Chain A
Amino acid sequence: AQSVTQPDIHITVSEGASLELRCNYSYGATPYLFWYVQSPGQGLQLLLKYFSGDTLVQGIKGFEAEFKRSQSSFNLRKPSVHWSDAAEYFCAVRHTGTASKLTFGTGTRLQVTL
């Protein structure tokens, strides 16, 4: 069965510092991968997604992610974090054989210090 692991439960970075949030997936074929962000009291907003082509994908709010098949990873990065980036970040995988469910990781809570 497909699964997603986000090894870091909580990360704290200083504003202006770079950020990398880790995501590893377990899936037999090429997965469709997503990063969502959840701000307090808000729903899940899509940051970016990968389904084919260039393994480095650009998203909204200055985020990017790189798909590495050899490492089964899809890490999210941002070169310079802003205080407004404080939120919970979820990596998710979607089965290529069905268009239905997303399987989410447990999330990483990002705290930004000023």
Chain B
Amino acid sequence: EPEVTQTPSHQVTQMGQEVILRCVPISNHLYFYWYRQILGQKVEFLVSFYNNEISEKSEIFDDQFSVERPDGSNFTLKIRSTKLEDSAMYFCASSAVVAASDTQYFGPGTRLTVL
């Protein structure tokens, strides 16, 4: 069964450093998402992406964050200058179509630890 993959599984970085989290969505999917889950809190939406553009973003997704689909398979989330409060599990998701009833398939997540 096709699945969303994410690398690395765990990233440790120093405050102020740039990090890039990578995701490979399911191959025929067109819509891509990033969510994050701070330890002990709910999963929160960050951004959605379609046709090489951001479709929607949350208040969390400020100028320090960016997303990119650099090639036909990868979808990346970049944090330019990490802060302690960016420590969280980051989930990538993808869906085939844009219908609200469609399923978003999630990857296993990248745990980001900012020291």
Contacts and interface: CB of A to CB of B under 8 A. Distances in A.
B28 interface: no
B105 interface: yes
A28 B95 CA distance: 25
B33 interface: yes
Contact of B43 (A49, A51, A99, A104): A104
Interface string B71-102: 00000000000000000000101010111111
Nearest to A36: B106
Contacts of A112: none
Contacts, number: 65
B42 A106 contact: yes
Contacts of B6: 43
| Most-contacted residue by chain B among A34, A100, A102 (CB, 10 A) | A100
A11 interface: no
A56 interface: no
B43 A46 contact: no
B114 interface: no
Contacts of A25: none
A46 B100 contact: no
Interface residues of A, number: 28
B111 to A, nearest CB: 10
B98 A90 contact: no
Q: Which of B43, B44, B103, B106 has the most CB of A within 10 A?
A: B43
By CB atoms of chain B within 10 A, which of A41, A42, A96, A101 has the most? A101
Contacts of A43: 4, 6, 91, 106-109
B87 to A, nearest CB: 18
B23 to A, nearest CB: 11
8 contacts: A43-B108, A51-B100, A90-B42, A99-B31, A99-B102, A101-B48, A103-B45, A105-B42
Interface of A: 32, 34, 36, 41-46, 49, 51-52, 90, 92, 94-107
Interface of B: 4, 6, 31, 33, 35, 41-45, 48, 55-56, 58, 91, 93, 95, 97-109
